[in-house]
Each structure stands twice: as structure tokens, then as C-alpha cells.
Structure 1
């Protein structure tokens, strides 16, 4: 006959077991991060002019660098820079809407990772799932990257045609007004 002793006191702490204190801390953390999100949204709404100026600066630098990188021929390069300058108001409107929708959540998630003080190896799997669920607009995984590239190229062509048409309308309007 074998005698099996039960350990009455388990001295090891299982990290997956949540104590009421840990749950309360997580709840407070979640509430505070939601407060940060709301404060960032309020900051963006109240400082819209500053956000527009930042986006303008980023557009100026980014468009010139992208055009210089992609187009080596000088005449085409100059034409594209002119088109980029003319299309800046359209970009500003689209970028501001995107910024208002996405940036508060992105900044909040980034700030949360900065104050979590957890190393990448110590992050439990369930925390990664929770962070993934917090993203407001999850991007569905594509099964065929070639199809995604094809879709993006068609969108670029569409935007190029819209830009050309907008410039033509602008030129015709300027000619008629003069």
C-alpha cells in the first residue's frame, strides 16, 4: 500500500491564476488607458490646426522624397512635384480624417506598451490577444499577396486619374475665370 501525501499549502504561485487584487489593477489600468484615449481624441479635436500643420509638413517632405526616389527623369519629376503641390488640400482632408480615426488608438496602444514594462518574452499569449482585440479596424489577412498588390496598383491608377482630372478641371476653371 502506497501512501500519497497531499501538499496542504501550495507555495508556488501560478501566473495564470488571477487574484482579486490583480483583476482590480487590470480593471483600473483598462479604465485609465481608455481615459488616455479620450484625452488624445479631445487633444486632436481641440488642436486641429496644429494637426493640419504637422500633416502639411509631413506631406511636403514625404511627397518630395517619394517623387525623387521613384522618378529619376527631371521633366517628369518636376511635373509630379507640381501635381503633389496641387493635390495637397485633398491629402490634408483625407489625412486629417484618417488621423482622427486611427491615431488616438495607435498612440494609446504605443503608450500602453511603454508603461507596461514587460519584456517581449514575458508577455503571456492572452495579453497579446487582448491587445489585438483593442484595435478598432483590424486588417483581415489576405490569402493571396499578389491579389493585394494588384488591388493596390489599381487604386494607385485610380488616384492618378482622379488627380489628372482634378488638375484639368482646375486648369479649365482658371482659364475661364481669366
Structure 2
């Protein structure tokens, strides 16, 4: 099997894979990790169709979950899912370029941490937390806050309705012009 090096190959080496001058083992380790990086880049270039299918699956699952999590209104939820489906080709192009550029290095770094068998240095430290007793709101203050919340919810409903109508008009106009 031959590995073809392209001019656009990301040859940056992570800080954990630096080339030490005095240790032959570290040098060999860095060389082997560079080989892993080249092999991953070669794999991604030769299996581009597979990468596209993986990204499509991740986009389908991720976009639906994000929309369901952020948008509770059914009509707006459906419209956003439709928009997400239409924007999939743009995502695929951008994600593929990002994947080719960044993922071989990220995967190489992760694999290197897996085979280095070092104890993690990021042990969480205990942080002192100061607890402050809060005084409850007075009754008139609670009522004014409750009324303000109701007014804001009303405004959000209006804005959501206007947004849905505007998006629907935009979609109808675009389809009519085409």
C-alpha cells in the first residue's frame, strides 16, 4: 500500500507529538504518530463517500434533536425541520471540508493520548462555594413579576406567529417565482 502525500496535507504536529532531540524512542513515537496522521488523511480521501454518509446521518439526528430541544411550538418546529432538510447540502459541503481539514489531526491526538498510558493531569480541584441566603420576594413584587412574565409570554407567542407567517410567505414567494 502506498501513501500519497498531497500539498494540502496538514503537517502540523500536536504539542504532545513534538520532536525531541535526545530521545530515540520519542523520535520514533513522533514518526509513527505522523504515519498515523497520514494514514487517516489517506483513509478519509479514499473513503469520501463513507464520510459523507456518516456526516449526513449525524446531521439528520443532530438537527432534529436540536430543533426539538430548542423549539417547543409544533408549527415552528415543523417549519424549522423543513428548513434544516433544505440546508443539508450546504452543511454537507462545509462539514466535509472541516472534517478533511481537522479530523485526522484530532483523531491522531486522541489515539496518541490513548496509547501514551499517562494519568490524566486534569484532576478537578475542590472549589469553595459560598452560599448566600436569599430573602423571598414580597407579595406585590411577586405579582408584578408574574404579570411581567405573562406579558413576555404573550409577546413571544405573537412574535412566533408573525415569524411563521413571514417564513411561510417567503417560501410561497420563492416557490412561486421559480
**What displacement does 1:169 show?**
8.7
Give the Cα–Cα distance (whole angstroms) in 1 for the partners of residues 26 and 76 of structure 2: 56
What residue in structure 2 maps to residue 74 of structure 1?
74
User: What SS class does the counterpart of residue 120 from structure 1 fall into?
Assistant: coil
Taking a change above 3 Å as real, the CA distance of residues 71 and 46 of structure 1, as seen in their structure-2 partners, is same
**What displacement does 1:175 show?**
3.9
**What displacement does 1:120 show?**
1.9
How does the TM-score come out when normalised to structure 1?
0.58
Give the Cα–Cα distance (whole angstroms) in 2 for the partners of residues 64 and 46 of structure 1: 30
| Deviation sequence 1:74-96 (CA, Å, 0-9, x none) | 00000000000000000000000
Whether the 8 Å contact between 2:59 and 2:88 is mirrored in structure 1 is: yes
1:44 and 2:44 are equivalent in the alignment: yes
Taking a change above 3 Å as real, the CA distance of residues 171 and 49 of structure 1, as seen in their structure-2 partners, is farther
Taking a change above 3 Å as real, the CA distance of residues 115 and 170 of structure 1, as seen in their structure-2 partners, is farther
What residue in structure 1 maps to residue 95 of structure 2?
95
Give the Cα–Cα distance (whole angstroms) in 2 for the partners of residues 24 and 44 of structure 1: 30
| Deviation sequence 1:49-87 (CA, Å, 0-9, x none) | 000000000000000000000000000000000000000
Structure number having the greater helix percentage: 1
How does the TM-score come out when normalised to structure 2?
0.58
5+ residue gaps in structure 2? 1-19, 122-165
RMSD between aligned alpha carbons?
Answer: 2.5
**What displacement does 1:110 show?**
0.1
Aligned pairs, number: 113
